[in-house]
Structure 1
């Protein structure tokens, strides 16, 4: 794989050595009538394959903007972002959509499952979008088993499941396309502490098996499950 620098030099790195995510002097400025707001200010960091990272910071610190950048939902005002060696600033909207679909899995606080689809259909939906054709339900069952969901629930709809069960379905959906990175936005924020601990144990198991995880959280107890914490304040990374 090839990593392009600003100077357009090509540096070939072995797959295991290439960071799955690289931010280089990333700034995001939102122009507003009352004056420009700098949400991110020259952010630089890298995420290596297999890491488990938590992102913490007070409200308004830039966490949401950073998450949007990591998920290729927005592009920087200046600086460079690479996802698995691909510079997102050079990509079209179609290419960015494909990158998000194929390389990034998203887990949200509120699950965002389709209420009219059953659990297998929810999980396999991203794979159907990727292939453009019907998907073998066995693939969905395989991933659901991996997140330890009871098989008797596979044909239920999300409203028939508990919050913790719905989050397991959401994790399975995020994993169906074998993403390079799993982005988690307050994954236990809508769960009680016992259920949240079960979800975090599952995330820890996934990480041990090689999944790269970046998790935004405000809870220091949840952050303890990660191996590294990035703290952000006023749009900058702080120690």
Structure 2
């Protein structure tokens, strides 16, 4: 994902973000606040404006999760909560883009921001889509394993980014030249697909492709393999997608 937190100069040995050059004094100041200020609201005071916007990305993912759970507890024929779960995810993407814009505008980035970015993305574009797929009807044991694989791929991709971002070639402005593997927000393509299923009333037993090996321990909905493929694309090291 196009991160606002991309690179710290090699001479400082600090961690990097994917979209903006980070100045050492900014990082040192926030580190000092986080480690030495013991006040009740010290953590809030240490956050930059861009960090607070990142929190809104995470909030959208959490609300999507709750909406999926509310659907599972209610009438399966009432799809209002499913639509709400779907709508929160592109809103999370909006905040994911906005935090980078704000970080570059204010010229404030940090290691804290990089970690917040990854954690919020995991909730909004990893866990929440998997929960939504479960709510739609991918509920067999094999479905669970495939969805768990998808989430773990997203987790691994984000962790790899945090470790390797400083080694990806940069352009003159300090931005990484390409994404290594598909960015995790591309899971919105799966969300759009699920929205199409829902608009046609294809939930539970009506999901496209039906069920394979029904009645056995290997019972699975073949459409769940789309999540497996997407997880593999996210963790690929051979796919290099040029950044806009």
Normalising to structure 2: TM-score of the pair?
0.28
Task: Normalising by structure 1, report the TM-score.
Answer: 0.28
Which structure has greater strand proportion? 1
When Rg is computed on C-alpha atoms for both structures, the one with the higher figure is 2
Higher relative helix content: 2
